[in-house]
Chains A and B, each alone.
Chain A
Amino acid sequence: MNNRRLPAVLGAGLLALALTACGGGGGSTTSSGAKLVNSGTLTVCSDVPYPPFEDFDKSAPTGFKGFDVDIVSQIAKGLNLKLTIKDSSFDALQSGLALNSGQCDLAASAMTITADRKKNLDFSDGYYNSKQSLLVPDGSSIKTIDDLSGKKVGVQQGTTGKTYTEDNAPSDAQIVTFPSDAEMYQAIKAGQVDALLQDLPVNLNHQQAGGYQIVQTYDTNEQYGLAMKKGNTHLVDDVDKQLQKMHDDGTYDTLYNKYFSTK
């Protein structure tokens, strides 16, 4: 080949590549018409760890365990799809970035359904009624949210717990924002904050581990939902049908009791 023609040949190759790249929209659809990122697989993103909703588990086939993980496993089974779970950041999930950029089909991450989030996401029916709670070290003088005056309270970035704290804590409480529960728990251990305000089940986990106690819970009428890419209505329908089926045949109650039974 004449070497001087190389740029032209390379150029033509690039052109072909660019055109094919444009053509492939990526993904596939299920029998119901729901769009999937990877064919035959339900790809789920979750901000792990957030026990008891999601946590790492080497022995599990997906590598994860928890209430959300069990719920989406049932949904994938009902839809005849394989399940892949990816660890992601909560910011990316709740802003819609992870879903809109095609990283996953579904976000299952103890995510409360809010009007703001609905701007960029579609939600399934609520699958869990969430409460907020205040966790303090044993022997702390903080008994209620009003006692946070002049104290440091840890909250998670982007959560409804943060919004609740901003709306209800005394104005001179110092609200310290963390990327996730992992850092918050370290911070209260290190004495960097005096209390944590976040979802009840997560604080319950810390209480069970010892040294800390929940002094107040808050009923905020929040519901967790599974988030999907805006406009993927077929998938929303599929997921809602599976959730309904789980409520009807008792699977949901079994799972619920596995994680949240007070008995």
Chain B
Amino acid sequence: MKRSTRRRLNRGVLYAVLLAVVVGLILGVDWHTVRANFFSPGARDNWHDLITVGVKNTLIYTFIAFAGGLVLALVLAIAKLSPVAPYRWLATAYIEFFRGLPALIVILAMGFGVPIAFQWTPPGGVIGAGLLGLLLVAGAYMAETIRAGIQAVPKGQTEAARSLGMGGARTMVSIVLPQAFRIIIPPLTNEFVLLIKDTALLFVLGVTFQQRELTSVSRDFMTSGATAGTATSLLQAAILYLIITLPLTRLVAWLEKKQQRAR
């Protein structure tokens, strides 16, 4: 057999296998049950609440947690690079602690643990408490990203700035940080996408009708409204999450490509 013939044959077999798997999946699926569970005809009634309450709150919560986390992370990153040892220790301890805990536990601690222990509820009620929990965790992750970004800026940049007579703080704010942020936009966008999904955890603290984010709204439709008794609304929420997150992840890919070209 000629080598090219053999190669064509091999490729043919691979295509046949792929086709068989796809056909097998299509034939193997219990479409009747799937339709009853995930494609209830009442789905049209759900979109309004899913978008005006669910998507809206999901985005608001994500922006708050991200912005808060970013500010916290910046402070932590600078502390971790500080020449004063206790600041480094504190920042390191914080980062290790909150990176090591599940976000769910931190949220529960902020929502239930803190009010029980100190008789004090963070501003914004339970949602405020939950968001505080989320941003504490997000801040720990982003701090490491920012620190790596700062360290990736060549030393010569700092030296040049200092030799022009700029102070330490001025050098950091006008020379180092802008360059660092350009480097870390992709990982920060990833953190943003993670936060979009993590807002669903706020549900454990209890939410009112108007406070629900996307997952909570869709869970409500599993029991009430036209799609009650089915999981149709979960599928709808999944579609909406993808509509929000896919452009963002594509953006990260595009930024990474662009950065590689710039080097």
Binding site for B on A (CB under 8 A): 4-5, 7-8, 11-12, 14-15, 18-19, 21-22, 91, 94-97, 100, 116-121, 152, 154, 157-159, 162-163, 166, 174-179, 183-184, 186-187, 189-193, 230
Contact = CB atoms under 8 A, between A and B. Distances in A.
A175 B14 CA distance: 56
Nearest to A187: B206
Interface stretch (B59-67, B144-152, B218-226, B237-245): B218-226
A11 B17 CA distance: 6
B33 interface: yes
Contacts of B230: 95-96, 119-120
B1 to A, nearest CB: 11
A231 B24 CA distance: 24
A117 B228 CA distance: 7
B21 interface: yes
B151 to A, nearest CB: 42
Nearest to A6: B10
> What DSSP secondary structure best describes chain B's contact surface?
helix
19 contacts: A4-B6, A11-B16, A15-B20, A18-B17, A94-B222, A95-B230, A96-B37, A116-B224, A119-B229, A120-B37, A158-B223, A174-B208, A176-B206, A176-B207, A177-B216, A179-B203, A192-B121, A192-B125, A192-B205
A189 B13 contact: no
A182 to B, nearest CB: 9
A177 B229 contact: no
Interface stretch (B111-119, B190-198, B250-258): B111-119
B234 to A, nearest CB: 8
Interface in B39-70: none
Interface residues of B, number: 43
A252 B77 CA distance: 64
A8 B204 contact: no
Most chain-B Cβ atoms within 10 A of its Cβ — which of A4, A14, A96, A192?
A192
What are the 7 closest A-B residue pairs judged by CB atoms, nearest first?
A116-B228, A119-B229, A11-B17, A190-B115, A116-B229, A158-B223, A176-B206
Nearest to A178: B206
Contacts of A18: 17, 20-21, 24
B206 A11 contact: no
Nearest to B203: A179
A186 B112 contact: yes
B24 A158 contact: no
B80 interface: no
B37 A100 contact: yes
B94 to A, nearest CB: 25
Contacts of B108: 186
Contacts of A174: 208
A99 B115 CA distance: 38
Contacts of B116: 186, 189-190
A94 B223 contact: yes
Contacts of A178: 204, 206
Given A95-B231, A120-B37, A190 B111 contact: yes
Contact of B17 (A5, A14, A163): A14
Contact of A177 (B9, B37, B212, B231): B212
A55 B237 CA distance: 32
B36 interface: yes
Contacts of A117: 229
Most chain B CB neighbours (cut-off 10 Å) among A18, A19, A193: A18
Nearest to B222: A95
Contacts of B229: 94-96, 116-121
B126 interface: yes
A8 B10 contact: yes
B10 A5 contact: yes
Contacts of A15: 16-17, 20-21
B33 A100 contact: yes
Contacts of A8: 9-10, 13-14
B27 interface: yes
Contacts of A190: 111-112, 115-116, 121
B31 interface: no
Contacts of A5: 10
